Structure 1
Amino acid sequence: MNEKNFRGVDLNLLVMFVTVMRERSTTRAAERLFVSQPAVSHALRRLRAIFDDRLFVRVRQGMVPTPRAEALYCDLLPSLEAIERKLQERDHFEPGPSERVFRLGLPSALDICVMPLLLEALAKQAPRVSLVVRPVSLHTGPALLDSEEIELGVSVFPRIESWHRRRNLGPRNYGCVFNGRRLGIRPPITLKRYLGLPHLLTSFSGERSGVVDTALAKQGLSRRVLVAGDLAALPFYLSKCDAVATLPDYAARVVAARLALSYSKPPLALPDFSLSMIWHDRHDYDPGHRWFRDLVGEIVIAI
């Protein structure tokens, strides 16, 4: 496409041409387009100059198109109808027949909670939609949006760029998971037993301290961290290890339920953290993306 060829061409001129072609009258075309009759006549003069053809000839019954006009009409109508469909797509998305692929970023603590529910919802609402799921953290999420490796991320995102959009999904807290039968501990776990056990720590960066250590330090206390790793493996460690893990509450409940482990609220006060959903501004008005992020948001809020 050579952009120079479109200088001086207004899309509205083509719309007026098609309308005159259908109505065979500048007056009726003006009424259909909600413009004045002189505006339509002026548009026809510009079109005649652009195409170097009379386009329409006045007769007793109205206006008759020239062969050039008839050929233009056959060529332009499908293109204008395609443009119209694209403009309408901005306001509408049908999940049922869609075969769109959405790229979602989740930390493992959310992955195990959100994905089963999301897959269940997609099977009912959008059975042909597919997903690509990538691990994210507060450090990597914004960059993955910019590189288009994800188009929606859910985690803790304290800092985003000005071209990102964010929706708060509410405050959360923590829960403890341990093998109660192996340890002989019935929930709720006491602070004494909690500190007497080694701890399995989830860590994005490999750091061996976290929010629990900060809260304990304020009381002059500390814990022993046995393993710092990814959440996906820690529950399996607990089945063979005398230890306790402190996880986001939604993950702790799912892990305890799925692997027959014990769940307890932490025996000390831990600060809330805020989950949020982020996306790039270029997707803000995309109806399909809006549908997807609403669906994901509802699921995250509910867990």
Structure 2
Amino acid sequence: MSGMDAYARDLDLNLLRVFAVVAEEGSITRAAARLYVTQPAVSAAIRRLTAFIGAELITRQGRRMVVTHRGAELLAAARAHLQPLVAAAMEVPVFDPKSSTATVRIGLDDSLGALILPDFMKALRTEAPEMQLIIVPVQFRTVEELLLSHKVDFAVGVADELPRSILRQPLPPKPSSWPHFVCLYDPRHSKLPKKLSEREYFAREHVVVSYAGDTRGIVEDSLGLARKVRISVPAFSYVADVVDGSPLLATIPTLVANHIIRTRPHLRSTPLPFSWESSIVELLWSRATDDDEAARFLRGVLLKVALALVARVERHGKK
């Protein structure tokens, strides 16, 4: 009988367990007591297994129940598989990040990669030196499918409504009060007033980041207002090179702006002349992989890295 035939005929593998206990005890009564079921339930299980196998498996010999030749063959095969299965079910997995060689796929929002990865990898060099990471680009339009199809083990980014099968945790856990977006510019080519007005902002030309390949950016989508878009780029990694040496303005997350300015101190950022309720960056993962110890460990490390990053941004903002 092939494996597929067995599945098609709905073999209850628990019948093998009942049969093994009856064979070991040599008694329906003692087997029922050991299994915490009634004697009729044990007898019915033996009848069902006998009918499935198509041969007598156990017979009465005096006061004892003994296995037949076919029963002995089945008992040997069942024990060989049942014992490892029970051991595997009872074993408590032990995860050691220092020795783990697990490969974890992380979906990362474009705006966060350059910010988080350096500190994240630095932490892993001491905490999990053998683990391997695969970074997959995600954004709010793709994150749900990537998580539900298990193409990523967890993701960091923004998302709107998601099914309940996806768990989410704000990153950092307690979002701070720093503004989410600022205006990045090159003061050598854009002479902005100390306090940027809305009129001045919309009079300038802009670079926008559009994942859809059009000229709509965060301002257009959130406020329904149109800017003078000179260039649309597909990722935040393009912004610094485009703004540097040009009169263009870029509206980007505060963390991204601060990172750019640390590497290009001649650039500046200024508060926007308007505000809106921006999305919160979150850790996102499927409920089906919530017990993955390697992914859970990495999520914890990311949380610590994010908290340190936010604290650094807040210190920078107070200077």
TM-score, normalised on structure 1? 0.71
Give the superposed CA RMSD: 4.3
2:56 paired residue among 53, 61, 65: 53
CA deviations 1:169-206 (Å, max 9, x no partner) are 266721344456x57999x9531697486543322224
Give the match for residue 108 of structure 1: 110
Alpha-carbon shift at residue 17 of structure 1 (Å): 2.3
User: 2:317 is matched with which residue?
Assistant: none
Q: Which letter does structure 2 place at the counterpart of 1:271?
A: W
Q: Distance in 2 between matches of 1:102 and 1:85?
A: 27
| Mapping for residues 178-257 of structure 1, pairs under 5 Å | 178=185, 190-191=195-196, 195=201, 198-212=205-219, 224-229=228-233, 230-257=235-262
Distance verdict in 2 for CA 1:86–1:121, change over 3 Å: farther
**Residues 148/19 of structure 1: CA separation in 2 closer, same or farther (3 Å cut):** same
Structure showing greater relative contact order (alpha-carbon pairs closer than 8 Å, 6 or more residues apart): 1
Aligned-partner Cα distance in 2 for 1:145–1:240: 40
Preserved CA contact (<8 Å) 1:95 1:125:
no
> Does residue 134 of structure 2 align to residue 132 of structure 1?
yes
Q: Is the 8 A contact 2:184 2:252 kept in 1?
A: yes
AA in 2 matched with 1:111: G
| CA deviation string 1:267-303 (max 9, x = no partner) | 423213223455556x355535872684477368635
Specify every segment of 5 or more residues in structure 2 that has no aligned partner in the other structure, as ranges. Answer: 311-319
1:266 corresponds to which residue? 271
The 5 Å alignment of 1:1-303 reads 1-6=2-7, 7=9, 9-51=11-53, 52-55=55-58, 58=61, 64-84=66-86, 94=95, 96=97, 99-124=101-126, 126-145=128-147, 149-160=151-162, 162=163, 165-167=166-168, 169=170, 173-178=180-185, 190-191=195-196, 195=201, 198-212=205-219, 224-229=228-233, 230-260=235-265, 264=269, 266-274=271-279, 275-279=281-285, 283=288, 287-288=292-293, 291=296, 294-295=299-300, 298=303, 302=307, 303=310
Distance 1:81 1:292 in 2: 31
For the residues of structure 2 that align with 1:9 and 1:144, how far apart are their CA atoms? 35
Aligned residue identity for 2:43: S
Change (3 A) 1:290 1:29: farther
Q: 1:93 to 1:199 in 2, by over 3 A?
A: farther
Residues 115-152 of structure 1 deviation map (CA, whole Å, 9 limit, x = unaligned): 33443455455544433322222223334446654454
Q: What residue identity is the alignment partner of 1:167?
A: R
Alpha-carbon spacing, 1:279–1:59, altered in 2? closer, same or farther (3 Å): same
